[in-house]
Amino acid sequence: MTRIGSRTTGRPTLAEVARLSGVSPITASRALRGISTVAPELVEKVQVAAASLGYVANPAARALASKQSQSIVVLIPSLSNHLFIDTLEAIHDVMRPRGLEVLIGNYHYDIAEEENLIRNYLAYQPRGILLTGFDRSDAAKQLLASSGVPCVHMMELGGEAQAMSVGFSQQQAGRAAARHLLERGCKRPGFIAAQLDPRVMQRAEGFRQALAEAGLNAYGREVLAPQPSSIELGGELFGQMLGRHPEVDGIFFCNDDLAQGAILEAMRQGIKVPQQVAMVGFNDLPASAHMVPRLTSIRTPRAAIGRCAAQALLGLLDGKRGQPKCQDLGFELVVRESS
C-alpha cells in the first residue's frame, strides 16, 4: 500500500519502474535515457514497465542530479508584436522534438527587465539561451559570460567578437528600402518609425546612408515615435508626415503595421498610393500582401532565424566545432503595388 501523507507525490518513481522490471534504479535510468551500455532486452523490459506505470521522469530531480535542466531560455522584447511569434514557433519546433522545454522571457523592450530575467532564468541552469540583438546591460553580459551557458543572438549580426549570431543586416535592409524608393523615382523620400529599438535605428541608419549617397538630405523627412508600432499609430504618423512634409513622395516604414495603417488612412483621405506617395513596409506581415494597394515590403526571415538559431544552439550543445559564428539569412524586397 502506498503511504499517504508522506513526503512523496504519488507519481510513480524510477525506483518503482526498476522494481517492476527487475533491475536496479540506475539501470532503469540508463535504459530510459537511451544509454547504450544497457542490454536491449533490459531496455525493452524497462520501457514496458515505465509505460505501464505512466512513468515520466521528474525534471526537477533530473536537473538537480545532473546539474542540467532540459530547458532553453528565449528572451524576446515583445510578444504582442507578431514578429517574434514566428520566431518563437520555429524555436519550439526545433527544441521540443529534442525534449527541450522552451522558457520564454518577455522583457518589454526594457534592458533592466532583461537583466532581471537573465538573473532569474540562469538559476534554472538552462542548456542554452537565445537572445534578441546585442543591446543589453553590462551586468547582463557579465552574468551570461560567467554562467558559461551557450548563447546565440538573433535578429542582428555581429556584436561582440565571440558572439554567435543568426539574423540579417538591419542596416542593409534600410538601404535596400531607400534604394528601391529612389529607383521608383521618388525625389523626396521620407521615413516613419515607431518603437525605436536598436534594430529600428539600424534600419534608419541604412536608409539615411542611402539617401546621403544619392545626394539627398538624409534627415529631411522623418517622423519618429517611441511608442510601440501599430496600425493606428501608422495612420497618425502618416498624417503628421503629410502635415510637416507635404512634398513627401515616398515613405519607408520601419514596420508593416505602420504602413498598413498609412495605406488605410491614405484611402480615407483620397490620397493615391503609389501615384502621390509610394510606400514600403518592413517584415512582410501576413496582411500586407492583401492591402489595397498591396504593400511592397522587405520580407524578413523570422521563422528561419528561429530555426537556425535553435539549431546553432543545439550544435553548441553537441560540441560541434566549426560552426559559423555569424549566419546572415538575408532579407528580400517584395515589390508590390504600393511602390
Partner DNA sequence: GCAGGGCAAGATAGCGCTATCTTGAAGCGA
Partner DNA sequence: TCGCTTCAAGATAGCGCTATCTTGCCCTGC
Where on the chain is the footprint of DNA (CB under 7 A)?
6-9, 11, 13-15, 23-27, 29, 32-33, 37-39, 42, 55, 57-58, 61-62, 64-67
301 binds, among DNA, a copy of itself, none (CB under 5 to 8 A by kind): none
Distance separating alpha carbons of residues 187 and 195, to the nearest angstrom: 27
**DSSP character at residue 109:** T
110 binds a copy of itself (CB under 8 A): no
List the one residue from 13, 25, 42, 125 that touches a copy of itself (CB under 8 A): 125
CB 121 within 8 A of CB 129: yes
Phi, then psi, of 111 in degrees rounded to 5: -55, -40
The region of 40-48, 207-215, 263-271, 321-329 touching a copy of itself under the rule CB under 8 A is 263-271
Could you tell me the smallest distance in angstroms from the CB atom of residue 270 to a copy of itself? 11
Which grid cell is 64? 538537480
Query: What is the DSSP code string of 174-222?
Result: HHHHHHHHHHTT-SSEEEEEES--HHHHHHHHHHHHHHHHTTS-TTSSE
Consecutive H or E run containing 52: helix 40-53
89 binds, among a copy of itself, DNA, none (CB under 5 to 8 A by kind): a copy of itself
289 binds a copy of itself (CB under 8 A): yes
264 binds, among DNA, a copy of itself, none (CB under 5 to 8 A by kind): a copy of itself
Query: Cell 535515457 sits at which residue?
Result: 33
Distance separating alpha carbons of residues 256 and 270, to the nearest angstrom: 20
Could you tell me the smallest distance in angstroms from the CB atom of residue 88 to DNA? 27
Nearest to 102 by CA among 68, 74, 61: 74
Could you tell me the smallest distance in angstroms from the CB atom of residue 230 to a copy of itself? 6
Residues binding a copy of itself (CB under 8 A): 7-11, 54, 56-61, 63-64, 67, 69, 79-80, 82, 85-86, 88-89, 92, 101-104, 106, 119-120, 122-125, 148, 230-232, 235, 260-261, 264-265, 267-268, 286-287, 289-292
